[in-house]
Amino acid sequence: MQQARHEQPPVNVSELETMHRLVTAENFDENAVRAQAEKMANEQIARQVEMAKVRNQMYRLLTPEQQAVFKRETSTTNGAVA
């Protein structure tokens, strides 16, 4: 999991800077903002998918007993995993 974090930074600063420039531009370009927002959203989706993949790999390493404990413990948080 640490490796996945290092390979892909949590936030692409240049994308945030681009969005900032669009927001503070003299003339608002809705299409450009939409395109930038979509690009940033797709990057977030890619990060979430990668983390889910890593969590699944970790889960599969657990013994059946450990998996049962994990399921029982996470059922109290509606399946949310930190």
With tokens 């892909």, the residue in question is: 8
For residue 76, pLDDT beyond 80: no
For residue 70, the domain's CATH number is 1.20.120.1490
CA separation for the pair 79, 55 (Å, rounded)? 13
Domain count, the chain: 1
User: Is the CB of residue 51 less than 8 Å from the CB of residue 72?
Assistant: no
CA separation for the pair 77, 74 (Å, rounded)? 5
**Span 40-74, pLDDT tens digits:** 999 999 999 999 999 999 999 999 999 999 999 99
pTM of the predicted model as reported, rounded to 2 decimal places: 0.69
Q: Is residue 80 part of a domain?
A: no
Q: Is residue 10 part of a domain?
A: yes
Instruction: Using pLDDT thresholds of 50, 70 and 90, give the confidence band for residue 7.
Output: low
User: Is the CB of residue 47 less than 8 Å from the CB of residue 8?
Assistant: yes
CA separation for the pair 7, 41 (Å, rounded)? 18
